[in-house]
Structure 1
């Protein structure tokens, strides 16, 4: 029996850092839940929105006296939310950047700037020498699965050439 206890103890000790990291990450940024986003409603003040989400990752000037605030942890999480406020800092609208409707709005020939205004900043970016395309990769939700899901946009000459989804299977230990 001592072998069994030592073996369990060793496994527990080796898993402890990962468990602690997961707990810390889940405690950081309560804005990262879909429920917090759903609670943001038109008419709410900017102060109330940032109280729920914290500091936005970036603020986009829309040129019509409105600003869009991006709340995201890309590439570390699968959430991307936009909150648009008017000149008086009242919420006008909200958008889940990774909704199916928003992802399907990414079309051929769009520019990098157009794509980055529709999706969250800081995707993983690489260049494919095989296809001579720049590849931007966002981690998105994979509802009903524990596997990871990605949305990928391919660019050539600063224009979208295609988009794709792919799943990343999680290892089972």
Structure 2
């Protein structure tokens, strides 16, 4: 049976909601200061990337893009226990992305983007992340990088569904 555009959108939304529900269950099973690296890996799997922190801590990047609207950074302290779990696709984090930051600095704060696009004639590359404004509006945060790999500007806009409104 053929599925129309809206039917496919409903199925995709249910899949994203299911992913979010799984994450909420996984998060509820972890405790800051108590859960170990093994606990985190058993709930979330292998991280997309591991970032070394000062003092021997490490931060695990768990990407939920392109279908999801969150990215998690989970910090494991030098004692092997979880010291922080943050959802980083938020207005407060976006406000920290400022002109002059490098691609690595942005990736470190927000995780892997949903999509990257290069515009050779302009000498610019755009990275997009899907996020939710806390209501029902799906949003896109964009960081625009110049040819030197540094942020030129950023913006957040409402995501327009495929095929328009």
Q: Aligning the two structures, in what range does the TM-score lie when normalised by the shorter sequence?
A: 0.7 to 0.9
8 Å Cα contact 2:130/2:139 also seen in 1: yes
Offset at residue 94 of structure 1 (A): 1.9
Q: 1:116 to 1:24 in 2, by over 3 A?
A: closer
Give the equivalent residue in structure 1 for 2:98.
107
1:60-79 maps to which residues of 2 (within 5 A)? 60-79=51-70
Unpaired runs of 5+ in structure 2? none
Q: 1:31 to 1:62 in 2, by over 3 A?
A: farther
Offset at residue 24 of structure 1 (A): 6.2
Offset at residue 169 of structure 1 (A): 3.0
Give the equivalent residue in structure 2 for 1:151.
141
Q: TM-score, normalised on structure 2?
A: 0.78
- Please tell me whether Structure 1 or Structure 2 has the larger radius of gyration of its CA atoms: 1
8 Å Cα contact 2:73/2:85 also seen in 1: yes
1:49-60 maps to which residues of 2 (within 5 A)? 49-60=40-51
The equivalent position to 1:37 in structure 2, one of 21, 27, 30, is 27
| Alignment RMSD (CA, Å) | 3.0
2: distance between equivalents of 1:69 and 1:118?
12
Offset at residue 68 of structure 1 (A): 0.2
Deviations 1:114-152 (A, max 9, x none): 11111112441112346431111111123222x431100
Offset at residue 86 of structure 1 (A): 1.5
Q: 1:135 to 1:38 in 2, by over 3 A?
A: farther
Unpaired runs of 5+ in structure 1? 1-12
8 Å Cα contact 1:151/1:163 also seen in 2: yes
Q: TM-score, normalised on structure 1?
A: 0.75
Check if 1:15 corresponds to 2:3: yes
8 Å Cα contact 2:116/2:125 also seen in 1: yes
Q: Secondary structure at the match of 1:165?
A: strand
Check if 1:47 corresponds to 2:35: no
1:111-126 maps to which residues of 2 (within 5 A)? 111-126=102-117
